[in-house]
Structure 1
Amino acid sequence: MFSHIMIGADDIGASKAFYDAALGALGVPAGIVDEWGRVIYAHGGSRFLLTKPIDGEPATHANGGTLGFAAESTDAADAWHAAGLAAGGTACEDPPGIREATGGRRLYLAYLRDPAGNKLCALHRVA
């Protein structure tokens, strides 16, 4: 459904360090900086990008928005959370753990905010 997701960041260096660590814990290679200064992550046919806002205004996070990253295990979600905290992220929501979802589904969720304030989640579907 999605070709890519791009979010704004005022401090590209701090955001790249955060995402290199957090996404690296999920097996995503380090981001590549293109000729426009955007950081591009490619993994599993998906693209995730960081950019300074084109309009020159400060980057802002989406109030109520969350970007979710797939984790292959609860350990991977925990590693993502720990790496993100160590790289300048901040914990938000409840601590990582299992949440009951509609339809009897069980999800392991870990939440962080990146250095620019974007709300993120690592999600593993528990069998």
Structure 2
Amino acid sequence: MPGQRLIHHLGVFASDFAASDAFYTAALAPLGIGAGYRTDSVAEFWQHGDDTPSVSLETAQAPEAVTRGLHLAFEAGSRSEVDAFHREAVAAGGVSRHEPRYWPEYRAYTAFVSDPDGNNVEALIKESQP
């Protein structure tokens, strides 16, 4: 179907909502993604002006419900956005997995950071060459 998206939304369940909210708010801001909806235990992140697709961040209701092992990649508009994502994510408590660089096997400039629960969060821009 034309215009249909692969993913509508994704839920991430955090062990510490405040820490994860601070991380995602800082890390995603350089990509033009912000919380369009927020309560004390839920934040819905989407691109400004378009609420789909979105990432829902919520407080996990039990320790076994915490999202772990997820690899979540966000598309950037430029290398400078990828750089800013990495810088802001680390400043907000994330742990760098890979600093920004060009990966020829993926034809992408990308950076990887672990969120407070250890999920692999990535920002990338596809390129045909470095």
By the TM > 0.5 criterion, same fold? yes
Q: How does 1:52-91 map to 2 (within 5 A)?
A: 52-54=59-61, 56-58=62-64, 59-62=66-69, 65-91=70-96
Number of residue equivalences: 119
Deviation above 4 Å: which 4+ runs of structure 1? none
Q: Distance in 2 between matches of 1:88 and 1:32?
A: 22
What is the deviation of 1:17? Answer: 0.7
Q: If the length of structure 1 is used for normalisation, what is the TM-score?
A: 0.84
The residue aligned with 2:14 is: 9
Post-superposition shift, 1:31?
5.3
Instruction: Tell me the residue number matched to 1:42.
Output: 46
Deviations 1:47-66 (A, max 9, x none): 10111224x2341412xx41
**Unpaired segments ≥5 residues, structure 2:** 1-5
| RMSD over equivalenced CA pairs, Å | 1.7
Q: Structure 2 length as normaliser, TM-score?
A: 0.82
- Structure 1: which 5+ runs fail to align? none
| Bigger proportion of residues as strand | 2
The reply to whether residue 51 of structure 1 matches residue 58 of structure 2 is yes
- Percentage identity across paired residues of the two chains: 32
* Contact 2:15 2:63 (8 Å CA) reproduced: no
Per-residue deviation, residues 8-32 of structure 1 (Å, max 9, x unmatched): 1011111111111110111112353
Separation of aligned partners in 2, 1:31 and 1:18: 16
- Work out the CA distance in 2 between the residues paired with 1:69 and 1:87: 17
